[in-house]
A = this chain, B = another copy of it.
């Protein structure tokens, strides 16, 4: 099986960008990623475009062909992907698969989202869904995970708040993040309650933004020299339907991380830096546990210890994560991988993880039967 490499990556600023369309956001990220890779449009053999809200908010479909058209990619196969919050990382997964199938030498992945419009309501499932129609929405399932985590493991409100405090500390070092002002536990807990026990600062903000990655075959990566980053594993799984889901020992999350480690031939101790899907403070705590950075139930104490903070032994979400950088849904999965690429190259500026050799990007999305619809874990190394 042919190996896949990342030779270019770029992310736009995240946050409200009323003057930008989905296409212009995607184009900006894609052009910057091509320039980062040092390849031109004519070299692109295939393109994947990830977006969730275009059809719902603007009636736009098949947007990828417009984005790739705007960067001068013509005739090459282009496919539009939607997979909830893993839209971008699922598109990346398919790009890696195209390289592995020897179907392409250079594949570009673009995730772009425009959400900061008045017509966007509370994000939930469609109208056909029992849970959605009875009050399930993005924060609700996670708030119940938080309450149960407190009940079973003694996790505290202060520990949840520590996730946001750590997130802002990293975001202060990332010029592209949306919320860059440092905060503290008291301030996080004093904010308005969204869904008990999650206050507003523990819920990620929506955003407009895009991110793009250039994936290459070994042959095409050679020209990129030492900057090329190796894809050791890209794993995509789906949730399952069980009679009584354990919402604080998240089977799908745990299983997907383990599968990615196995495929990459590494373990949690080998990971130098990680991005995870911190849509809410509790999410990051659960992902610490699934990624094996601490034992089950210990996520709250792990963040409180400072281990995942700037200067800690296991930096998590150095970009600021969803909580501070913002969450333009289909851009997120691509941006997480892009962030890891920067650290492995030593190009992450003020937030650089010292001597990063192995990095992980974890993402998940969509509520179904007390589980997630989709989960991705990518392991990269230099």
Verify if A35 is at the interface (C-beta below 8 Å from B).
no
51-93 of chain A: CB within 8 A of chain B? 52, 54-56, 58-62, 65-66, 68-69, 73-84, 90, 93
Given contacts A21-B128, A126-B59, whether A79 and B83 have CB atoms under 8 Å apart is: yes
What would be 23 A-B contacts, judged by CB atoms less than 8 Å apart? Answer: A52-B61, A56-B59, A58-B126, A60-B126, A60-B128, A61-B126, A61-B366, A62-B365, A65-B239, A65-B374, A69-B369, A74-B241, A75-B255, A78-B373, A79-B83, A80-B81, A80-B83, A81-B81, A82-B82, A94-B97, A97-B103, A100-B101, A100-B103
The number of chain A residues with a CB under 8 A from chain B is: 55
Given the complex of chains A and B, what is the CA–CA distance between A239 and B79 in angstroms? 13
Which residue of chain B lies nearest to A127 when distances are taken between CB atoms in the complex?
B59
Least CB distance, A151 to chain B, in whole angstroms: 28
**Interface of A, helix, strand, loop or mixed by DSSP:** mixed
* Residues B79 and A94 in contact, CB atoms below 8 Å apart: yes
Which residue of chain B lies nearest to A242 when distances are taken between CB atoms in the complex?
B74
Chain B proximity mask over A228-270: 1 for CB below 8 Å, otherwise 0: 0000000011111100000000001001000000000000000
Given the complex of chains A and B, what is the CA–CA distance between A81 and B240 in angstroms? 21
Given contacts A65-B374, A66-B368, A97-B97, whether A77 and B126 have CB atoms under 8 Å apart is: no
Q: A239: which B residues are within 8 A, CB to CB?
A: 65, 74-75
Q: A58: which B residues are within 8 A, CB to CB?
A: 126-128
Verify if A342 is at the interface (C-beta below 8 Å from B).
no
Verify if A122 is at the interface (C-beta below 8 Å from B).
no
* Residues A366 and B62 in contact, CB atoms below 8 Å apart: yes
Given contacts A82-B80, A90-B79, whether A373 and B65 have CB atoms under 8 Å apart is: yes
